[in-house]
A and B are shown apart, each in its own frame.
Chain A
């Protein structure tokens, strides 16, 4: 009987260890012997580009070229959509399973730094190497003087418009919001004569997420309003219930509710939908980064050369976000040097220009930015927009402000809430967040 008891105990222990072994991650997976017997380092990279077209295949192709030059390195990608990136990083960080490198943005860099999951890249890349990048871009990629990610490319927000349609209508590139509205009205029409509008002036993105909110915040700032800023005494304050803010909200909402220059379903229209509308000739303008050019042209190659860009129209000033995207190296990575070397390869002049050609995203190194391919009507507006880019407030809970403004404009669009009620609620929420973070 004793033997049977011991036997069952041993079986249980064996079964448990088998289960645990199956569930546990392989520690030896990072370094293996390659075919020629040399030690091979595997680096895992979590990338948002892998879920996009044409970016994903192009990034893979670049990694393959690197692996040919460096057979001792093997690169594996983990694709994650941009909207799920921060959740995925957080989940993987809490489970101790972060890959060697992962996509990073200025919006999340502060949170990631707070979690202690990002390595400071300055010592890894070297001070001299970092000087090759635009200084304001390096500043935007840093938290408390520590470089959180290597800025791979920039996608400053600008207005993309159909150059050929503007020419036909005798319109000039909009400089201010009055010009913009006039153009939007002219481009909104019934093209097939069936009595129904089938072409609209503006592909407005009105979803309640970062994609919609970031675009509106650029408009808000062009009206001279800051959703979050530090006052003279260094305290965080929000201008969301000022008359200027109300004017900005009302203008944005009126494009749909009053002027009807945007396609129906604006609160459902995210970036992919708006880009498709542009590609299918349903809309004439959209607020976006240069990455949209690659996306739109890949859907409709006939539009190559017909899409022009101009800085976001202004009320009191032009504004733009940097739209920076880059890679952080995990503090936990055992292959920091190998990853850093690959990241350097990605931003080499030739690769950066090829990437710009394909995806539309702008290079981040000073010398590459001077290249001629960036002065065409397609890119000129984006390059100019970089001059007007503002830095994201260094506030831990900044993502709440995206939700606050998005809730406000959606309530006005979908529920006909008054601008006073919507901005009052927005200001209340903003003040609550500021108070909670004191």
Chain B
């Protein structure tokens, strides 16, 4: 039992964090929810409309289609991150000569700003001047330039490729940190018990890495589910609606159509989708530290 004096002192210690959280997270969230009940231009017009925006969002299949497209996008991006990230983390965890150089090189995509990555890949994909078309035409794989970002069939895949390239280093570094925290003694004990390399991976590495993997999975999924910048730069949600993920739709509602109320309602729904995903993962894999 804490004395009231030490309790007060504790309160003072957590005060900066509480104030920061209230100002930067709680207030915007509550304000966003508040706006979703209004038809507003945020300055002079504040018409209370109740649940109208929510009803409107679910009155057709458009929003659900966007959510499904976003889930589809997120699924492939996260799968890509984990396949590449895990593979590279395992390699980087080996005691090989010059491995630090590779660690530095492989983390580079994560260090570039998203805007830079978007523009860089946009130029690489360019049908007239882009590197990909030039190389593919030179080796004879294609006869005419392909508009990678301008064709509905290829634009979605192109956006996923860019997102995987940008995001795999974060997964790689987190898993590498997780791998390095597994005590060597456990592997040694497993070896003494006659464990093979693959069995050690299955029965030692994976269980020990699971807490880090779950946290990484939640972070990565939520992060890419609400991703906006690179898709906006690459395709602006097009062509047609091929890459029109939910964050692009919210942005357009707010800053192109100036429907701030509807945009807020959509954002609140996305918040719940993200929360549900996190909850689902925790239920599925446990809390990670069990």
Contact = CB atoms under 8 A, between A and B. Distances in A.
A268 B129 CA distance: 13
B41 A415 contact: no
Interface in B155-186: 155
Interface residues of B, number: 35
Interface of B is mostly: loop
Interface stretch (B106-114, B239-247, B269-277): B239-247
Interface in B249-271: 252, 255-259
Residue of A12, A207, A265, A436 with highest tally of chain B CB at under 10 A: A265
Contacts of B41: 111, 114-115
A31 interface: no
Nearest to A196: B144
A298 interface: no
Given A208-B236, A411-B241, A265 B252 contact: no
Contacts of A417: 240
Contact of A282 (B42, B43, B128): B128
B150 A268 contact: yes
A415 B241 CA distance: 9
Interface residues of A, number: 37
A407 B238 CA distance: 8
Interface stretch (A158-166, A359-367, A397-405): A397-405
B255 A115 contact: no
Interface string B142-155: 00111101111001
Given A415-B152, A415-B239, A264 B128 contact: yes
Contacts of B242: 414-415
B147 A264 contact: yes
A265 B126 contact: yes
> What is the predominant secondary structure among interface residues of chain A facing chain B?
helix
B252 A410 contact: no
A209 B242 CA distance: 15
Interface in A243-288: 263-268, 277, 282
Contact of A414 (B45, B150, B255, B258): B150
A414 B155 contact: yes
A136 interface: no
Nearest to A95: B42
Given A267-B150, A414-B150, A414-B151, A86 B255 contact: yes
A238 to B, nearest CB: 16
Interface string B70-107: 00000000000000000000000000000000000000
B252 A403 contact: yes
Nearest to A195: B143
Interface string A272-314: 0000010000100000000000000000000000000000000
**Residue from A117, A267, A436 whose CB has the most chain B CB atoms within 10 Å:** A267
18 contacts: A94-B43, A111-B41, A115-B44, A264-B128, A264-B144, A264-B145, A264-B146, A265-B126, A265-B147, A268-B126, A399-B258, A410-B239, A410-B240, A413-B150, A413-B239, A415-B152, A415-B242, A436-B56
Given A267-B150, A407-B240, A410-B238, 10 more contacts: A86-B256, A117-B43, A206-B150, A263-B127, A264-B145, A266-B147, A267-B239, A268-B235, A403-B252, A403-B256
Interface of A: 8, 12, 86-87, 90, 93-94, 111, 114-117, 196, 206-209, 263-268, 277, 282, 397, 399-400, 403, 407, 410-411, 413-415, 417, 436
